[in-house]
Structure 1
Amino acid sequence: MPTSPAADRPRTPAADPSSNGAPAPILLELVDETGATIGTAEKLSAHLPPGRLHRAFSVFLFDTEGRLLLQRRAAGKYHSPGVWSNTCCGHPYPGEPPFVAAARRTAEELGVAPALMREAGTVRYNHPDPASGLVEQEYNHLFVGVVTAPLDPDPEEIGETAFVSPAELAALRAAGPFSAWFPTVLEAALPAVRELTGDAGW
């Protein structure tokens, strides 16, 4: 059953001391079609049409019953607000290894560290988001793993969480929107998901 995050945990974004306390601009790592780094770009600018190919990651965590942990993105997110998506996704800082970024961001968003997490390949896609007008041009590193500790989601990032079976996921997808990238990253991660969960219907 979906659950809402606690709203009483303070979060403070990193600030640039030279800009009167304003949050520092977030830079993404631009890559070529082989995944090699070619530069950096500010986060929002990289998502403006037609988009600039950049490094990203997507995490799929499961409980011990083989159910997938989903998150509904918070309503205040600038990109794809209020829609369901995979456990965690984001962008490494320039020079940050994708595995490290995935573990870091999972802890920041969900307040929990995976009990196990492993690489599950990469996928490259180009997904315009009709609702926002932004474009996801991403070289995405995939990770699958297991979570056993209680969740403590950041309410600024996550509106709800849910552990779902394959049948429950299908029903949820039929009932409402998911992130534009979700079908692509799920399909690409499925071989590793089935190995991790012993299939469990995935």
Structure 2
Amino acid sequence: MEHVILLDESGTAIGLADKQTVHTDSTPLHLAFSCYIFDSAGRFLVSQRALAKKTWPGIWTNSVCGHPAQGEAMTDAVRRRARFELGLDLGEIRLVLPSFRYRAELDGIVENEMCPVFHATVDDDPAPNPDEVESTRWVPWESFIATALTDDAYSPWCRLQIAELTALGATPASWPAGDPAGLPPAASAVESAPA
């Protein structure tokens, strides 16, 4: 059984919930992540959520999203989900938005997450897991922004993240690393633990 880490308003872990049942019309606050993957040419990998997914089916969004397991470092969770959803082994992973948080609702299902955002690089093309991803495409970052900000077919968290990411600079490769001290305590405790 896969779990999500429940959080209090400070971002401290207060328990676990079954991932399959946590997303309802009153989803509790929990820990997640989003990752934006780029290739060596600077193209961005946009993905469409599988049509069979409970939350936001068929919606286009950032490259990969997920939930860390209890005791799992955020970067390890990003690598795990990219491999599982997209068949990709990521290169560099860089924290860029440590304190992103949002709440969104679609068709009676609520997302309610503290969701640090990461930038990652890769050299390969994706091999999507059809249970998770309906489709993917490589696009120039500028055209992705223009489309996503004006099209409701893109996830609300992605659209909110774009506003914060563009404030970091026009070139994703030069986005500065975010301060790990800004991570929710539930995430920063694992990130700072000795290996």
TM > 0.5 fold call: yes
Structure 1 172/34 Cα, relative in aligned 2: closer, same or farther at 3 Å? closer
RMSD in angstroms over aligned alpha carbons? 2.1
Q: Distance in 1 between matches of 2:105 and 2:151?
A: 21
Work out the CA distance in 2 between the residues paired with 1:53 and 1:193. Answer: 30
Q: 2:162 aligns with which of 186, 192, 195?
A: 186
- Identify the residue that residue 102 of structure 2 maps to in structure 1: 125
Whether contact under 8 Å (2:149, 2:159) holds in the other structure is no
User: Is residue 84 from structure 1 mapped to residue 60 from structure 2 by the alignment?
Assistant: yes
CA distance in 2, matches of 1:187, 1:84: 17
Q: Secondary structure at the match of 2:58?
A: coil
In structure 1, give the amino acid aligned to 2:70: P
The count of corresponding residues between Structure 1 and Structure 2 is 173
* TM-score (norm: length of structure 1): 0.77
User: C-alpha deviations, 1:43-79, integer Å up to 9, x for none?
Assistant: 2443212220000000001112222110011111111
Aligned letter for 1:127? Answer: A
1:113 aligns with 2:89: yes
Matching of residue 163 in structure 1 with residue 163 in structure 2? no
**Shift in Å, 1:185:** 2.4
Give the corresponding residue for 2:117: 142
Q: Distance in 1 between matches of 2:171 and 2:110?
A: 32
Deviation at 1:122, TM superposition (A): 2.4
CA drift of 1:151 comes to 1.7
- The answer on whether the counterparts of 1:145 and 1:196 sit within 8 Å (CA) in structure 2 is no
Equivalent of residue 177 in structure 1, options 149, 153, 162: 153
Distance in 2 separating the partners of 1:194 and 1:49? 36
1-structure distance, mates of 2:15, 2:160: 25
Q: Deviations over 1:21-50 (max 9, x none)?
A: xxx3x2110112222111111224432122
Q: Quick check: which has more Rg, 1 or 2? A: 1
Query: Residue 198 of structure 1: CA displacement?
Result: 4.0
Per-residue CA deviation, residues 157-201 of structure 1 (Å, 9 max, x unaligned), is 1111111124432236645511221112233334557564247xx
Structure 1 unaligned blocks of 5 or more: 1-23
Structure 2: which amino acid aligns with 1:123?
F
Q: TM-score, normalised by structure 2?
A: 0.79
Tell me what 1:70 maps to.
Answer: 46
Residue 69 of structure 2 is aligned to residue 93 of structure 1:
yes
User: Per the alignment, do residues 35 and 175 of structure 1 end up closer, same or farther by CA in structure 2, a change over 3 Å counting?
Assistant: closer
